[in-house]
Amino acid sequence: MKFENNIAEVGDLAPDYMGFIFYEKSPRNFTGKLPFLPPSIQKVGVFVAAPITEVVQTVLAYDLQVVQLHGEEDPQYCQALRNALKKVSNKTAIFKVFSIKDQFDFSRLIPFEQQCDYFLFDTKGPLPGGNGYEFDWTILQDYPSSKPFLLSGGIGRASQEKLEAFFNSSAATFCHAIDVNSQFETTPGCKTVAQLKKFKTALVTMGL
């Protein structure tokens, strides 16, 4: 999918991260050429159980700073990927995604503690990401780790007050960033830049 002009416009908002999905079954699968993005923006490649050689090749082709694993990758896969990435770059971080519905067994995180740099919590749904609705964030009050995590899953303009309450709670102690996606799209992959700008301004006003 090619939407280079939209990417540049989103880049003008200076987010900390910008994600690009490399998964053929996704309507957001990215096959285009990246425009110039400010070096302050970390480019994230999203993969779903992809062969490690394919992930490494994509990291090199697009100069990705982060690999986000959105499938059923196990700790052994994550370790093998980390080893492969170290051969080409010491600066590529690994985000491991875990999907949450009504509850979550946090002991699942333990085997991934050494292999991943960040966890990302998303809403469990029929698709590996981009389902467009939130999970119950209060579940994260029981988060047992000190590893930083990202909050994802249906976050949009209607989430502002809820986000403020979340970041004023103990559940957000180790929250590193929030991930927004489908709530700001006109079509898969193309963002409504004006609404993103308003959302970012609102969050800054709230001190988030």
Full DSSP string of 114-140: TT-SEEEEEE-SSSSS-------GGGG
Indicate the average pLDDT of the chain: 92
| Average confidence (pLDDT) over 99-115 | 94
Res. 1: pLDDT tops 60:
no
Domain CATH for 192: 3.20.20.70
Is 46 a residue whose pLDDT tops 70?
A: yes
Residue 2 in this model has a pLDDT that exceeds 50: no
Sequence-separated contacts (24+) of 71-76 with Cβ below 8 Å: 71/47, 71/128, 73/49, 74/111, 75/111, 75/112, 75/115
pLDDT digits (tens, 9 = 90+) for 109-156: 999 999 999 999 999 766 665 556 799 999 999 999 999 999 999 999
User: What pLDDT score does 206 carry?
Assistant: 83
* Dist. CA 145–CA 171, nearest whole Å: 11
In whole angstroms, give the CA distance from residue 173 to residue 21: 28
Find tokens 């590893």 and name the residue. 147
What domain range is 109 assigned to?
4-205
Average pLDDT over residues 60-76: 97
User: Cα–Cα distance between 144 and 74 in angstroms, integer?
Assistant: 20
Higher pLDDT, 205 or 85: 85
User: Domain tally for the chain?
Assistant: 1
Task: Check: CB of residue 175 under 8 Å from CB of residue 151.
Answer: yes
- pLDDT score, position 127: 60
Q: What is the percent of the chain where pLDDT is above 70?
A: 94
